[in-house]
Amino acid sequence: MCGTMAKDKADIKEVVKKDDETDKNEQETVSRPKVILLSSYAFGSEGLPVEVRIYKKAEDFVPKYEVTIPGIAEGTKLILETKLKAELVTEVKLDVSEILDPNKFAEVKIKFLEAARKILKRNFPSLPEDKKEVLAVYLLQKTLGLGEMEALLSDEQLEEVVVNNAREPVWVYHKNFGWCSTNLRIRKEESIYDYSSMIARKIGRQINILNPMLDAHLPNGDRVNSTLFPISAFGNTITIRKFSRNPWTITSFLKTKTISPDVAALIWLCMQNELSLLVTGGTGSGKTSFLNAMTGFIPANQRIVSIEDTRELTLPSFLHWVPMVVRESNPEGKGEVTMLDLMVNALRQRPDRIIVGEIRRQREAEVMFEAMHTGHSVYATLHADNADQTVSRLTNPPINIPIEMLDALSGVVVTFRHRRFNIRRVLEFAEVKRNGKVNTIYRWDVKSDTVKGVGKMSTLVDTLSLYSGMDEKEIEEDVNEKIKVLDWMVKKDCYDVDDVGRVVSHYYKEPEEILGYVKKNKAPDFLAK
């Protein structure tokens, strides 16, 4: 009896113990933050292997972008950054002209890489050659580049890389996940200043207490803005907007539902018939990206001149294209070349098409509309949130264009960035009527995430009939034909800038041939990977 009672007590204790352990585990499960892995991928940065892990904890408001360089231990990094970096700087002998001339940066880089290999061979003779090469690139990026931020600049999924100060982590804007904080941090304000100063020297500029702001672009096309304390109250800043190496094309936008096939086809028809269009939208809405996508519709037998503040456009490589970029004045205030200067000069180059990065001032807008009235096809961007506001901005100060001049413009494409959903959409497509007012034909509906027809074409039909000889029914048939071609390109994974341009150019040359591929659902030979 006593033995039975003792056994029962022992059993109860065991059950209670297990229950306590279960409760404890459940409490730990509840209290332990859950980590949701959003994405992971790898890429190379000048031969340096980089791994990225994007995750989000339950208590986090934004995702965490974690970047690592496999194969380089923390101890090795310490040796490279403290001892070997100083040794590398001493090893390489440079003339003052090489240091100050931004055009010689590539040659300087080669010298440093060769010296880094020698130093590593001397310090780590038994290390495998592939490991030495990885360490050499890492040492090079730490000496001549932006250190570990160089890896971020090589990630094609990122649009922006931002340093706010030495207390916060580096931030990035990811194409799929929006703003993310990273596991990288520049721990000294002096280091942020050194990076900004290095960027300025690469392009023959300077940033200091007297000139505390830098707005420039790197040789690879990335746009850089830097500010120094106390202009930026929390510390020195660097903002790098990355130049897209694989720019968006119209088929990329179709795949992501940024634009509907019927709107894309109508824009194609307008550009085929040399009608001038304006792309408008708010900051970060994708105006320049959409302008770039539209250029794939330009025929290969026409001369194009583009004018930009910073080089962002990437057209098909086989097009007859002259890209031009403005130039700021030197420290003495001389040598400035403005966008207006380039626009006036472009008209003397016999262009068939003129592409303008962004219109900001009255005189620029006047020259642009004069170019339209003299028979040039012009495509440009402008800050405005919808089609009606576009007309308002153009016809009121500071741009202040007479409304009568707007009839040279055929259509307005409005791009929109929905920050809450992290998506970009073509919000509106509107035609410009003879009186300068707009008639919105298509508008995006946020509830259904679809583009709906909200108006009937009138002026565009008359203009297209004048230049193409098609009546309203033929215009509709042509748009439907182009919709089929666009859908076929998406099905065949035709997203490359050159590939899209080739399909369009072949369509202009031999439409029946392309339509034959579409009907058979077959990819043409010139798209073979």
pLDDT of residue 1 exceeding 90? no
pLDDT tens profile 302-345:
999 999 987 789 999 999 999 998 887 776 778 889 989 999 99
Gap between the Cα atoms of 352 and 354, Å rounded: 7
| Distance set, CA 10 to CA 19, 155, 474 (Å) | 14, 61, 91
Q: Residues with Cβ < 8 Å from 488, sequence gap 6 or more?
A: 517, 518, 521
Distance from the Cα of residue 5 to its chain's centroid: 75
pLDDT tens profile 488-519:
999 999 999 999 999 999 999 999 999 999 99
Between 421 and 346, residue with greater pLDDT: 346
* Phi, psi at 148, each rounded to 5°: -70, -15
Which pLDDT score, from 0 to 100, does residue 101 have? 65
Mean pLDDT score, 108-114 = 83
Q: Residues with Cβ < 8 Å from 301, sequence gap 6 or more?
A: 320
Which pLDDT score, from 0 to 100, does residue 518 have? 96
pLDDT of residue 13 exceeding 60? no
Between 290 and 114, residue with greater pLDDT: 290
State both tokens at 121: 């061979």
Q: Is the CB of residue 318 less than 8 Å from the CB of residue 501?
A: yes
Which pLDDT score, from 0 to 100, does residue 528 have? 56
SS3 356: strand
Please report, in angstroms and rounded to a whole number, the separation of the first and last CA atoms in the chain.
85
Q: Is the CB of residue 226 less than 8 Å from the CB of residue 238?
A: yes
pLDDT-derived band at 95, boundaries 50, 70, 90 = low
pLDDT of residue 24 exceeding 60? no
Which pLDDT score, from 0 to 100, does residue 529 have? 52
Which pLDDT score, from 0 to 100, does residue 17 have? 43
Q: Residues with Cβ < 8 Å from 135, sequence gap 6 or more?
A: 72, 76, 80, 116, 120, 124, 127
Between 34 and 487, residue with greater pLDDT: 487
**Beta 223-227 vs 237-241: how paired, if at all?**
antiparallel
- Please state, rounded to an integer, the average pLDDT across all residues of the chain: 87
pLDDT tens profile 454-475:
999 999 999 999 999 999 999 9
DSSP codes of every residue in 265-334: HHHHHHHHTT--EEEEESTTS-HHHHHHHHGGGS-TTSEEEEEESS------TTSEEEEEE-B---TTS-
Between 23 and 529, residue with greater pLDDT: 529
Between 328 and 442, residue with greater pLDDT: 442
pLDDT of residue 25 exceeding 60? no
50 forms beta bridges with: 43
pLDDT-derived band at 28, boundaries 50, 70, 90 = very low
In the chain, what are the domains?
43-241 (3.30.450.380), 250-527 (3.40.50.300)
pLDDT of residue 159 exceeding 60? yes
pLDDT tens profile 354-392:
999 889 899 999 999 999 988 899 999 999 999 999 999
Predicted TM-score of the model (pTM): 0.78
Which pLDDT score, from 0 to 100, does residue 461 have? 96
pLDDT of residue 12 exceeding 80? no
Q: Residues with Cβ < 8 Å from 256, sequence gap 6 or more?
A: 423, 424
Half-sphere exposure of residue 360: CA atoms within 13 angstroms, side-chain side: 7
Which pLDDT score, from 0 to 100, does residue 98 have? 63
Any idea which of 27-36, 234-243, 418-427, 509-518 has the lowest mean pLDDT?
Answer: 27-36
